[in-house]
Structure 1
Amino acid sequence: MPALLLPSRRLRRALLAALAAVALALFPAAQAWAAAPVPGGVPPRPPAPVAPDPSLQAHPLAAAPGPLDNPLKGFARFYWPGADQNTGYPHSLTWSYFGLSELMTDPADCSKYNWSILDSALNEIASYGNQAAVRFYLEYPGGSGSHPANAIPRCFDGHVTYRTNTYWGTTSPDYDSPYLLDALGDFIAAFGARYDGDPRIGFIHLGLIGLWGEWHTWPFDTDTSGDTHPNFMPTDAHAAQILQAYDNAFNRTKLEMRYPDSAAGAGTNRDIGYHDDSFCYKEGSPLAGVTLPRSLGGAGYAQLERALSHGAENKWITASMGGEVRPEIQSSAFASWPGGSGQVDNMKACIELEHTTWKINEQSQSYAAGDPNVAAAVRLMGYDLTVDNAYFKDTASGTTNVGVRIRNNGVAPFYYPWTVTLGLKNSAGTVVRTFDTSWDLRTVMPLKIRAFPDWGVGSDPTYLDYGHPQYFQAGVNLSGVPNGGYQWVLRVKNPLETVSSNAKKLRFANATQGADGWLGLGPVTVGSGGGQDTTAPTTPTGLTSPSRTASSVTLSWTAATDDVGVAGYRIHRGATQVGTSATTSFTETGLNPATSYTYTVRAYDAAGNTSAASAPVTVVTLPATSAGLVVDDFDGNPAYPSAARNDLGRWTGGNCFLNGGGSGAVPGGALSLRYDNCGWFGSDVYTDLSAYTHLVVRIKGAAGGEQAHFHLGLGGVTKAFGDFTLDGGGRPAITTAYKDIRLPMSANGINRASPGQLAMGFWYGGNSTVTIDSLTFE
């Protein structure tokens, strides 16, 4: 169903009545169409995690009801410009349509896009701390009141045949037109290049095809038997072309398509979820559900029946399930929770079998905040994470381990790789030290899943064991933390925090969860907890140099041990200490080419005890002619951006910058990018980098400190430039003078074998100019 953004209540009621009136004419044909189910069946259970470290003390945490406005789940409200978006029932998502003609505004050129209407909406939504879910359309019966009914871009005129859907009064373009397909493909590619991974967007519904962008043109659709209406839908091959374009363009932001059987099921093997626009509604005579399968009283065209027929009922494991609570039942959807009544189907079964994460529900604004039925449904939707135990030593110093065990009582995983951070709070409640971890919440699967009757594993409802309480552990270094009493805390970083200080925080269903987003794990005493520590750590072993360049040497070694804990390592070149490291690796830069250097390493603990020196290693830096792999040095060969090629001979370009016509400019052999909360630069790599260890960005800023203004993406990792880790544990800092910032790829999780595209996005706040002299792999 379309969201209710119609110009009047009278028209809204008329359209909804019309849909109900035509259902009986449509659905018998759909019943005849439906194929016999070929379900995917019971999904394999994920492997059990490792057990908690037995050397750590267990600290049980009390459970509590989860928050109702956790990000990226629950209900979505419509976007109304200028309106307070946080009224009504607690929520963290905002939904909006956009007509394609509102972005493709040049009547003579379909390759030009005006993103201002989308950016304006995304920025306003983000200012309330919410993420957006969006869809583009070409035809919208009656228009929305703020968006046009006919959103076919004028640049299609004379190139694309137009038809009239006489039932809805819309203009329907020829969706099989090569010109249209090329234009939509180019638009999707540009959309993805600009917004894939944008923290302001939570979910994207594919849209573009059919009424409201819902991938149907009823009654001018594929069901031509018994009526005189021609088929306005694209062929399966052309529909699959649109799916392919979206799948190519978006690798980070979650996509959703309308039907599991669209394009003859071509989406079942793509990273695209489903968007059920008529969620949990019953219609027809006798009433039949349009979400639940036929085995639970659903119609032959029901969403889950379609999924079963294509073996796609387990798509939720990796792809999100969104949609809209059918507008006719929004006000009463949870009154008979969990079983439903009248036109409301079994709501609990709908959520559990579809593994629903979020739904549009404009009438949620009228729900009472304390309604227990609504709260039960929202907590069941998507993820519902609880930390049941934390694991750490009650007294610790130096390097120590901290673990947590997390279980998921929801129906779906959390779908994004948000950073999980450990912290120490002092007695005043101030977080004095933080430690980012590599923990991936996406691996915390629901403990139980509801079986489809079609699986034949028991009568309904049958619940099967699926996920496990997932154990995570990280080593942290407490050196430099004054002795005393603290509390271990944990939080999950919402990337929207880089855009809006009001970003909703992901919180756990625990009694010790704070409003600030930090979850209390339990008290810890930092210090030896006894007499004076006089025992030195053991001597580090295995010192070697895994990589070198003409100007740098990287060292690694096997960790030392200590009765209390190793605090760090001191690195010596000859008799001179050249640095310290909290980890078992270190890189020294600024060295001379083709020169021999000898290194040793000593371990030290928090009490200052120092080990003997390791066995030495001698390293000869590479000759000066060994320059690494140059992505681009912007020396004019090839010319940027006119050649649209970098020094690798691959595509490069940019948009939305304030210089160089939007692409940035190259004065004096360096790329200058002037930005004001907008800008994107991309340079294809697509080369196996296994022989290289570092991405080297030679860069300066107009003011200094610009590392917080943009994100860099490479090899499956995208984050603020200043959040990358340097050798030795530091962070990048841009100054007003050129500086070679060396990012160790493996340490930052970058896939060197498949790096993909190097991309930089500048829509995260701030305005300045950065100048890049070169991008190189060494």
Structure 2
Amino acid sequence: MRTAPRRRALAFAAALCTAAATAVLAVTVQAQPAVAAPAGPPARPAPPATPSPSLTDHPLTAAPSPLDNPLKGFARFYFPGDNQSTGHPRSLAWSYFGLSEVMTNAANCGSYDWSIVDSALNEIASYGNQAAIRFFMEYPGGTGSHPGNSIPHCFDGHVTYRNNTFWGTVSPDYDSPYLLSALSDFIAAFGARYDGDPRIGFINLGIVGLWGEWHTWPFDTDTADGYPNLMPTDAHGAQIIQAFDTAFNKTKLEIRYPDSAGGAANTRDIGYHDDSFCYREGSPLAGVTLPQSLGGASYSQLQRAVNMGVENKWITSSMGGEVRPEIQSSAFTSWPGGSGQVDNMKACIELEHTTWKINQTSQSYSPSDPNVAAAVRLMGYDLSATHAYFPNTVSGSSATVGVTLVNNGVAPFYYPWTVTLGLKNSAGTVVKTWDTPWDLRTVQPLKIRAFPDWGVGADPTYRDFGYPQYFQAGVSLTGVATGSYQLVLRVRNPLEAVSANAKKLRFGNATQNADGWLGLGAIGVGGGGGGDTTAPTVPTGLASPAKTSSSVSLTWNASTDAVGVTGYRVLRGGTQVGTSATTSYTDSGLSASTAYTYTVQAYDAAGNVSAASSPLTVTTSASGGGGGGGIGLDDFDGNPAYPSAAKNDLAKWTGGNCFGNGGGNGVVAGGALTLQYNNCGWFGSDVATDVSAYTYLVVRVRGASGGEQSHFNLSLGGASKVFGDYTLDGGGHPVITTSYQDIKIPMVANGISRTSPAQLAMGFWYGGNSSISIDSLSFSN
């Protein structure tokens, strides 16, 4: 008879019991260490190198990243024999183990039987997932088939046992020298066997206290309630923490509280495990994750971190935990702000920099739920490649390849997994690979949310942190046959050495393949110098038909070539700023009232490049202009910064949510706001200005694929329509293409109030899945 459902119920009931304990514990929490000052805004990492101007820029298109990327998102409980492929996509499984299940020899504490651990890890790995695990000695009621009292019998007669009459458990004397010595030996053996094991993603320190959660409530340091203290001293707790830190140098570790053992983990590479994540309790309701500055309780997880000055520990150490069981079924119903006992979920993820959470109810989530998808993509890392740099054709024996990666999540990727470049032939077969020294851990989140405690702006305030990270490597083409190839990139999951089903780390790009390889663009190899060696003719007629305060549009006459022109390089001040397959280009992200000098070069498929055109100097319009005596709502030039300043160029409110990039806000780069959406997304920007002097709302926009005009609506001044339904002069309707264009919407003809425009808002709940880039929003005649 199959018993897994009963075991599941037992484990989940135990989790609920854990939550109830934490709720009471939170109110009567043991004495806290002296409060330190918040760490404050972290210093930005050093900016990366820039691409060599000799390399051709291959822009890459963004797309939503997968929901089961490894080492992030939701983990469900592991039950032997259960199908781990059902429910919401995931890449993690959570499992407890009783210490007595490994320390099985009653006569010898130095004898270990790891079979129960290996059996679980192997089954989890067979589904392509990694495990997050914890050992315990006291578990009220037990967990499935694991015993509630898991104190090894080799402690008998050597360690004093005491009863926790509230929970009906037995607590060993955690200050016993015999116990501390035995635990140190166990942890050393644990690390020797499993440190760096590709089957394990995260290890919770566990062992101490109820459920291994480093508390014994109500038998804790608060002895005024009449209950004796069963916790170890801070010094002895610190010994256990040090033993873990010594034993594990590769696998990421986490501990329940920032102030456990007086904060002994805070100077070590050990993250935190918030197992009552984003819950609100008490009367009035107070959050147990968010800090007091955002309505949290004095004992909340992030208030503890702020008190200890370790709110930025996430930069190097992972943040795990569990979505509080009482709210798992409703945690994302009111995304992002939360409701009732569900706190502001987006703020919880952003401020904690959450990478993963136990969430048993996630098995019931729909994979198409946009709220859950937005939350999962925001958690941990969310990587995409924005540009690849390499020559279109290589005739020699080596080439230089560069890639720019961005992280739109809330945390870095924490492991040094190998990044590999490769070549695919026309049949899609990988015929050559090169391992690179590129370190994904350096790709930090582009934006981070500021704690109100930092005093750097109203909540939410977002600050620039990471950069688009540029990597470059030389590759040898020796032995590669002459021909046309696709340059590709992948990240190797070490679990692949154990399981053929190992989840692939995939990027948020349209050219990401299910096999793990990311397409970077076409490259020609070979020719030996015997092919086309003639450069195209020099482009002529370089002109600028339009400009704004932050952009310059360029056109030129076509070049000719003996075989055919492939494209054009656009140079500003002698430095390449982009390429174009046509005879036009718009340079964005410029400063107002500033002179820029441009030249253009043509290139062919063989890599031959023409001389530069005659230079053209263009001065951008004054700030706030629309290029023709208009008024700019926002040109996304970074001043003010979006969304950290929460202001547009009119000094009014602006912001967004539910987008797949920029932590839900979208990303400003190169003077344009890119909004990545999958049937979810909202952008708003207050106007609150009489625009009666102007005829048109001008939206300078392009799409990733073209045709995005049916994916969203635009509201302004009492009018609200799908963008493609607005009527243009002459009776036409907006059509978004892959090139920037000024779409001029006549306001009066479309029923837009110019005296009270209120707010320009865009909603993306129309079934679309793509991205648009908005260079500017303005009003003009």
Provide the TM-score with structure 1 as the length reference. 0.66
Partner of 1:402: 401
Q: Secondary structure at the match of 1:402?
A: strand
Partner of 1:334: 332
- Please state how far the C-alpha of 1:222 moved relative to its aligned partner: 1.2
CA pair 59-14 structure 1, distance change in 2 beyond 3 A: closer
* Mapping 1:331-480, distance limit 5 Å: 331-396=329-394, 397-480=396-479
Residues 399-455 of structure 1: CA deviation (Å, up to 9, x unaligned): 110010000000000000000000000000000000110000000000000000000
Partner of 2:52: 53
Cα distance in 2 for partners of 1:169, 1:5 equals 25
* Mapping 1:472-551, distance limit 5 Å: 472-528=471-527, 531=530
* Mapping 1:12-161, distance limit 5 Å: 16=16, 20=20, 23=23, 26-30=25-29, 36=35, 38-161=37-160
**Conservation of the 8 A alpha-carbon contact between 1:275 and 1:323:** yes
Partner of 1:252: 250
**Conservation of the 8 A alpha-carbon contact between 2:11 and 2:143:** no
Cα distance in 2 for partners of 1:10, 1:250 equals 31
- Please state how far the C-alpha of 1:27 moved relative to its aligned partner: 4.3
**Conservation of the 8 A alpha-carbon contact between 1:411 and 1:446:** yes
Partner of 2:646: none
Cα distance in 1 for partners of 2:20, 2:96 equals 23
Cα distance in 2 for partners of 1:7, 1:201 equals 23
CA pair 134-458 structure 1, distance change in 2 beyond 3 A: same
Residues 10-35 of structure 1: CA deviation (Å, up to 9, x unaligned): 896598479649946x5454498585
Cα distance in 1 for partners of 2:505, 2:115 equals 29
Cα distance in 1 for partners of 2:6, 2:284 equals 30
Partner of 1:240: 238
Cα distance in 2 for partners of 1:503, 1:35 equals 45
Q: Secondary structure at the match of 2:371?
A: helix
- Please state how far the C-alpha of 1:224 moved relative to its aligned partner: 1.6
CA pair 527-247 structure 1, distance change in 2 beyond 3 A: same
- Please state how far the C-alpha of 1:371 moved relative to its aligned partner: 0.2
Cα distance in 1 for partners of 2:68, 2:371 equals 15
Cα distance in 2 for partners of 1:269, 1:484 equals 54
**Conservation of the 8 A alpha-carbon contact between 2:15 and 2:325:** no
**Conservation of the 8 A alpha-carbon contact between 2:204 and 2:254:** yes
CA pair 340-37 structure 1, distance change in 2 beyond 3 A: farther
CA pair 224-5 structure 1, distance change in 2 beyond 3 A: farther
The answer to whether structure 1 residue 173 and structure 2 residue 199 are counterparts is no
- Please state how far the C-alpha of 1:144 moved relative to its aligned partner: 1.0
Partner of 1:318: 316
CA pair 30-118 structure 1, distance change in 2 beyond 3 A: closer
Partner of 1:678: none
**Conservation of the 8 A alpha-carbon contact between 1:100 and 1:137:** yes
The answer to whether structure 1 residue 263 and structure 2 residue 244 are counterparts is no
- Please state how far the C-alpha of 1:60 moved relative to its aligned partner: 0.4
CA RMSD of aligned residues (A): 2.0
Q: Which runs of 5+ in 1 are unaligned?
A: 535-778
**Conservation of the 8 A alpha-carbon contact between 1:6 and 1:142:** no
**Conservation of the 8 A alpha-carbon contact between 1:334 and 1:373:** yes
Q: Secondary structure at the match of 1:522?
A: strand
Cα distance in 2 for partners of 1:504, 1:19 equals 31
- Give the letter aligned to residue 380 of structure 2: G
Q: Secondary structure at the match of 1:496?
A: helix
**Conservation of the 8 A alpha-carbon contact between 2:31 and 2:221:** no
CA pair 109-319 structure 1, distance change in 2 beyond 3 A: same
CA pair 5-44 structure 1, distance change in 2 beyond 3 A: farther
Partner of 2:288: 290
- Please state how far the C-alpha of 1:510 moved relative to its aligned partner: 0.2
The answer to whether structure 1 residue 190 and structure 2 residue 189 are counterparts is yes
Cα distance in 2 for partners of 1:153, 1:20 equals 27
Cα distance in 1 for partners of 2:26, 2:429 equals 61
Residues 525-583 of structure 1: CA deviation (Å, up to 9, x unaligned): 1023853699xxxxxxxxxxxxxxxxxxxxxxxxxxxxxxxxxxxxxxxxxxxxxxxxx
**Conservation of the 8 A alpha-carbon contact between 2:234 and 2:262:** yes
Cα distance in 1 for partners of 2:10, 2:424 equals 57
Residues 715-760 of structure 1: CA deviation (Å, up to 9, x unaligned): xxxxxxxxxxxxxxxxxxxxxxxxxxxxxxxxxxxxxxxxxxxxxx
* Mapping 1:717-736, distance limit 5 Å: none
CA pair 32-340 structure 1, distance change in 2 beyond 3 A: farther
- Give the letter aligned to residue 158 of structure 1: G
**Conservation of the 8 A alpha-carbon contact between 1:73 and 1:358:** yes
**Conservation of the 8 A alpha-carbon contact between 2:318 and 2:414:** yes
- Give the letter aligned to residue 156 of structure 1: F
- Give the letter aligned to residue 409 of structure 2: G
* Mapping 1:558-577, distance limit 5 Å: none
Cα distance in 1 for partners of 2:505, 2:462 equals 27
Q: Secondary structure at the match of 1:432?
A: strand
Cα distance in 2 for partners of 1:474, 1:366 equals 44
Cα distance in 2 for partners of 1:9, 1:437 equals 46
**Conservation of the 8 A alpha-carbon contact between 2:318 and 2:355:** yes
Cα distance in 1 for partners of 2:406, 2:392 equals 23
Q: Secondary structure at the match of 1:197?
A: coil
**Conservation of the 8 A alpha-carbon contact between 2:12 and 2:360:** no
- Please state how far the C-alpha of 1:9 moved relative to its aligned partner: 4.8
**Conservation of the 8 A alpha-carbon contact between 1:31 and 1:301:** no
**Conservation of the 8 A alpha-carbon contact between 2:405 and 2:469:** yes
Residues 633-678 of structure 1: CA deviation (Å, up to 9, x unaligned): xxxxxxxxxxxxxxxxxxxxxxxxxxxxxxxxxxxxxxxxxxxxxx
Matched-pair identity in %: 74
**Conservation of the 8 A alpha-carbon contact between 1:7 and 1:143:** no
Cα distance in 1 for partners of 2:382, 2:250 equals 22
Cα distance in 2 for partners of 1:89, 1:8 equals 17
- Give the letter aligned to residue 327 of structure 2: I
CA pair 392-65 structure 1, distance change in 2 beyond 3 A: same
- Give the letter aligned to residue 375 of structure 1: A
- Please state how far the C-alpha of 1:101 moved relative to its aligned partner: 0.3
- Give the letter aligned to residue 237 of structure 2: A
- Please state how far the C-alpha of 1:167 moved relative to its aligned partner: 0.7
Cα distance in 1 for partners of 2:179, 2:57 equals 61
Q: Which runs of 4+ in 1 moved over 6 A?
A: none
Residues 76-120 of structure 1: CA deviation (Å, up to 9, x unaligned): 111111111111000000110000000000000000000000011
Cα distance in 1 for partners of 2:518, 2:397 equals 23
The answer to whether structure 1 residue 307 and structure 2 residue 267 are counterparts is no
CA pair 11-464 structure 1, distance change in 2 beyond 3 A: closer
- Give the letter aligned to residue 398 of structure 1: S
Q: Secondary structure at the match of 1:305?
A: helix
Cα distance in 2 for partners of 1:386, 1:7 equals 40
Cα distance in 2 for partners of 1:5, 1:264 equals 40
**Conservation of the 8 A alpha-carbon contact between 2:422 and 2:489:** yes
Partner of 2:278: 280
- Please state how far the C-alpha of 1:36 moved relative to its aligned partner: 4.7
- Give the letter aligned to residue 470 of structure 1: Q
- Give the letter aligned to residue 510 of structure 1: N
Cα distance in 2 for partners of 1:16, 1:144 equals 12
- Give the letter aligned to residue 345 of structure 1: D
- Please state how far the C-alpha of 1:145 moved relative to its aligned partner: 2.1
Partner of 2:687: none
Cα distance in 2 for partners of 1:9, 1:80 equals 11
Cα distance in 2 for partners of 1:88, 1:145 equals 21
Provide the TM-score with structure 2 as the length reference. 0.66
**Conservation of the 8 A alpha-carbon contact between 2:387 and 2:404:** yes
Q: Secondary structure at the match of 2:100?
A: helix
- Give the letter aligned to residue 285 of structure 1: S
Residues 271-326 of structure 1: CA deviation (Å, up to 9, x unaligned): 10001111101111111111000000011110000101111000000000000001
CA pair 16-183 structure 1, distance change in 2 beyond 3 A: same
Cα distance in 2 for partners of 1:524, 1:271 equals 42
Q: Secondary structure at the match of 2:223?
A: coil
